[in-house]
């Protein structure tokens, strides 16, 4: 008998992933705290659950796409309490590796498999099925759980990290590198400003020279146009950098640039830019100058 699939968390990332799963399976039981999102996917053929417990009682495989650690902790505990042996919880959220391992142990005690599979690639990638998946398991284990036929609906790049929590560990490390680099890009632009070098000339040289980095090119057009409509909101950057800080604290890893980067983003939040794109930190740094 085909597995019944559930989905909790129909935000910017969750909704397109849930829609792709619905197209694949023909049925889906869904829950979101804001009813309008649940109602939207019900119109496409999904079944609504009144709460997370309702999803636990009906689904065999449950996907989560939640904002942060507090929500994951709350929802997973409800799922385990109301779930049954043999269920699988696939957590697509970005949270701490320590929390992933705790949730996996809780699930194991009841015969419920919990696996962290954070994703990268934005809402467009989720809709187009081109997300990168960072998996807290070996390739062999992931295959044995029979999950790939479902995750193929929204992802096409798989990275198997071996153990629970390692999917989120590499996601957090990657995001730290990108967001810290963005603060360096901002300071470099402030230097160019002070010397009368135009934005256009700055990007023409740096994107073709050794100072180039992926996020420099990715945010180039937003900076040139002064467009701070969110692709990845600055508030989410702070959340991810706090997760990186927590990871370093848990593992007793020294990291100086992380704390510096985090303070720049916190200044941007204090200036009211939290809901804007992450690149608003560059505007903040230039304004400080």
User: Tens place of pLDDT for every residue, the chain, 289 residues?
Assistant: 479 999 999 999 999 999 999 999 999 999 999 889 999 999 999 999 999 999 999 999 999 999 999 999 999 999 999 999 999 999 999 999 999 999 999 999 999 999 999 999 989 999 999 999 999 999 999 999 999 999 999 999 999 999 999 999 999 999 999 999 999 999 999 999 999 999 999 999 999 999 999 999 999 999 999 999 998 899 999 999 999 999 999 999 999 999 999 999 999 999 999 999 999 999 999 999 8
Task: Say what the pLDDT of residue 1 is.
Answer: 44
Task: Say what the pLDDT of residue 170 is.
Answer: 97
The residue behind tokens 């995750």 is 151
Task: Say what the pLDDT of residue 82 is.
Answer: 97
Q: Is 171 annotated in the active site?
A: yes
Task: Say what the pLDDT of residue 2 is.
Answer: 78
Domains of the chain and any CATH numbers: 5-162 (3.40.50.720), 169-288 (1.10.1040.10)
Contact by Cβ (8 Å): 164, 137: yes
Residues in the chain: 289
Among 171, 220, 222, 239, the active-site one is 171
CA distances from 36 to 8, 19, 67, 143, 282 (A): 14, 15, 17, 35, 35
């Amino acid at each position: 008998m085909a597995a019944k699939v559930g989905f909790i968390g129909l935000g910017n990332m969750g909704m397109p992933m849930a829609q792709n799963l619905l197209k694949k399976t023909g049925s889906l039981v869904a829950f979101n705290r804001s009813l309008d999102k649940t109602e939207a996917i019900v119109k496409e053929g999904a079944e609504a659950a009144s709460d997370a417990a309702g999803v636990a009682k009906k689904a065999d495989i449950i996907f989560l796409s939640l904002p942060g650690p507090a929500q994951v902790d709350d929802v997973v505990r409800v799922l385990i309490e109301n779930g049954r042996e043999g269920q699988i919880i696939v957590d697509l959220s970005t949270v701490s590796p320590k929390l992933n391992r705790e949730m996996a142990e809780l699930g194991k005690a009841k015969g419920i498999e919990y696996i962290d599979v954070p994703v990268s690639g934005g809402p467009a990638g989720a809709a187009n099925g081109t997300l990168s998946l960072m998996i807290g398991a070996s390739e062999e284990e992931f295959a044995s759980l029979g999950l790939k036929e479902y995750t193929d609906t929204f992802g096409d790049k798989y990275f198997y990290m071996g153990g629970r929590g390692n999917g989120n560990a590499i996601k957090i490390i990657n995001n730290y590198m990108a967001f810290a680099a963005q603060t360096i890009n901002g300071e470099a632009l402030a230097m160019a400003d002070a010397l009368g070098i135009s934005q256009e000339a700055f990007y023409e040289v740096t994107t073709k020279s050794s100072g180039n980095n992926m996020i420099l090119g990715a945010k180039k057009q937003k900076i040139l146009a002064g467009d701070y409509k969110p692709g990845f909101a600055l508030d989410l950057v702070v959340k991810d950098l706090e997760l990186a800080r927590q990871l370093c604290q848990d593992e007793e890893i020294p990291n100086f640039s992380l704390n510096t980067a985090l303070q720049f983003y916190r200044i941007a939040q204090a200036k009211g830019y939290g809901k804007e794109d992450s690149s608003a930190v560059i505007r903040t740094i230039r304004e400080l100058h």
